[in-house]
Amino acid sequence: MADSKNIEVGQDDRGTTRETAVHTEETPVSVLEDGSLDPVYEAKAKVLNKAIQDIGMGRYQWQLFIVIGFGWAMDNLWPIVTSLIFTPVKNEFKPERAPFLQLAQNIGLLFGAVFWGFGCDIFGRRWAFNLTIGITATFGLIAAGSPNFAAIGTFAALWSVGVGGNLPVDSAIFLEFLPGSHQYLLTILSIYWALAQVFATLVAWPLLGNMTCQQTDTDCTRGENMGWRYFMIVMGGVALIMFIIRFLLFTIFESPKFLMGKGKDEEAITIVHEVARRNGKTSTLTLEDLEVCNSLALPGSAGQQQTTATAVIKRNMQKVDSSHIKALFATKKLAFSTGVITAVWAFIGLGYPLYNAFLPYLQATKGAQFGDGSTYLTYRNSLIIAVLGVPGCILGGILVETPRIGRKGTLAASTILTGVFLFCSTTALTSNSLLGWNCAFNFMSNIMYAVLYAYTPEIFPTKDRGTGNAITASANRIFGIMAPIVAMFANLETSAPVYVSGALFIAAGLLVVILPFESRGKASM
């Protein structure tokens, strides 16, 4: 391993002369340009990337693909759960402002994204990975017994605290164990996201379609409206099964690059060798391969301090600081990339739930009388729309590896087309045409989310990836909080919010075009 790199003197983008690690043809090319990161960390990350690439895609990574997929599924499943139970909960409890249910959910998602996202860069990935789905399952099951609207709102916020941490944490874990040649699997993971939507609507169809009070019912009793409670038990039970599989049947290792970034090189080496063993291979990586990179640090630099025992102790005593945030803005190019991708997440965070908030009005005013107008047929159409998301995720996984398209091209095109199809949905004059436009919208939005969830962690360095994920997810959740507020106070007798939503998607797609990094065919740092 130590022979796979050479040392070269050069200048970084700030004009500072320093030595850098030059990768050979066997070393995966990095997403971030040389000089963007601390030189010691950068060199060690390349060594670890090479070690993971040498191990290849094996048993451990495929097992990880399955259990990480649970997190992707939960991220989409529970916001859909809130949407599906919204009408029966409103009919039973008759709250003055029903959108408070979605507001409570979005506040919980925001807290979860911030807490778990920042926390996994400070305390590690393992605890967050094991706890998020457990929290979701616990409060999801308890919510089935809610006696009033305040209770269901509280439990929605609490289960969302767990949901909000899934993607920031799980995407970091999976990416950090993937060889660079297989990073496209982060996009394919979104098939769990689409399947979760299919599963939720498939279960909701019989339960909510047959055991739910109609909106015209003046007196909706608990006994007549048990469908949503049974639905919550099923969803909470599935989450509990996933938690048990993760916690008891699978051993998650801490990320080697995370450990290296904390000065724990020896532990990082141990993990690499254990992953190799589980894959039926051996690794030639040694502690000396990482320690030789320490020679790249300038006297008194952060790179030199990175590996000293004193610095490690200091970090353990002062874990919470702004260093992870500052690292994401260390150079002009990194700062620009972080700022733009955060804006993309923010625009989508408002656009997606804003459209969903006004969809019932759009269905009602465009002749969308689903057959006899029953709740049963409404959920049937929701299932049809959900199924279209599955091929969208698969197509996204193919496109991100296509030359001259890649991550940026796929993300930009799918985001813009998502907005275009929203504009088109306002022209629907029948229920079938609205269903068609909604299918197109869901197909494109699933491609968009599949690529967005994969591309975002790829352009953050490992030691700050949880923080970067937390920043983007927080922007998404903060703007998402605005949607139910708009729904509570805006005039529903207009399609203007749908046009605003479409414009936000198109603006987000245009922002993607100016992002500076293309990660296709390159290894994350």
Cβ neighbourhood burial of 371 (10 Å; 0-12, 13-18, 19+): exposed
Contact 12, 303 (CB under 8 A): no
Q: What are phi and psi of 200, to 5 degrees?
A: -60, -45
Contact 400, 451 (CB under 8 A): yes
Residue 345's nearest CA partner among 471, 162, 454 is 471
Residue 492's nearest CA partner among 177, 113, 99 is 99
Write down the pLDDT at residue 32.
56
Q: Mean pLDDT for each consecutive 10-residue tract of the chain (525 residues)?
A: 41 42 48 62 82 88 92 89 87 86 90 85 79 94 94 95 87 82 82 88 85 71 88 96 91 84 86 91 86 66 42 42 74 88 92 72 49 60 83 86 86 94 82 84 90 85 78 87 75 71 93 85 61
- Say which residue the tokens 């260390």 belong to: 330
DSSP string, 348-396: HHHHHHHHHHHHHHHHHHTT---TTT-HHHHHHHHHHHHHTHHHHHHHH
The domains found in the chain, sorted by start residue, are 59-252+329-513 (1.20.1250.20)
- How many CB atoms are located within 10 Å of the residue 494 CB? 12
Could you report the per-residue pLDDT of 346-378, keeping only the tens digit for each? 999 888 877 776 665 555 455 444 444 556 667
Write down the pLDDT at residue 421.
92
Measure CA 131 to chain center: 16
DSSP 7: E
Write down the pLDDT at residue 235.
95
Calculate the alpha carbon distances from 414 to 96, 349, 396, 408, 509 in Å.
Answer: 38, 16, 9, 10, 8
d(CA 172, CA 188): 15
Write down the pLDDT at residue 84.
85
Write down the pLDDT at residue 307.
41
